[in-house]
Structures are given as C-alpha cells and as structure tokens.
Amino acid sequence: MKIKPISDKVVLKLLDPKEKTSGGIYLPDEAQEETHLAEVIAVGEGRFSESGQLIKPGVKKGQKVLIKGKWAGDNVTIDGVEYKIVSDTDILAVVED
C-alpha cells in the first residue's frame, strides 16, 4: 500500500532516538522528548495562500528532519510500519549529515 499526503501534509517515519550526538554530546531524556528525528517518506503538493498562490512544503522525500515533540501530527500504521503525518509547519529543521 502506498500513502500519498494531501495539501501541506508530510509523511514521516520516526528514527530511533540517539542518546549522543555525532559530536559526542549526550542528550538528556527531556531533550529527546522535545524533538524527534524522522525521515521524510512522502510530501503533499502544498497549500494555497489567501491570495491563491501555491505554497509548497520545504522538505523533500528522503531528507531527515526534526519535528516538534511526540504530540505533533497523527500516528498511522500501514502494512505493520508506523508513520507520522504532520503539517509542514510542525517540521523544525532539515538535518544534514
């Protein structure tokens, strides 16, 4: 089954939280709960502004992103895999390796 988000929605797969950053900094449990690292699985076409202009989401499939805490978006399970569907405004940053 394939999932295709509509509007400004983005489908994410949460990645395992790390206790330590690549720079060697340990993240306390509280910090891990405030944001989550996720991979972008699918992106909607965007939403329309009040003037009718299409505003596309600022992320692309395959990117890694940080999202607001565990309460952001909606959880769905498809073919036994858990995904999170969020608005593009719930995405805080793109994470580059």
Segment 52-78, tens digit of pLDDT = 999 999 999 999 999 987 678 899 999
- Tens of pLDDT, residue by residue over 6-62, are 999 999 999 876 555 566 655 565 555 578 899 999 999 999 999 999 999 999 999
Rounded Cα–Cα distance for residues 73 and 5 (Å): 13
Q: Delimit the domains of the chain by residue range.
A: 9-95
Pick the CATH number of 9-95 from 2.30.33.40, 1.10.10.10, 3.30.230.70, 2.60.40.1080: 2.30.33.40
92 burial (CB, 10 Å; 0-12 / 13-18 / 19+) is middle
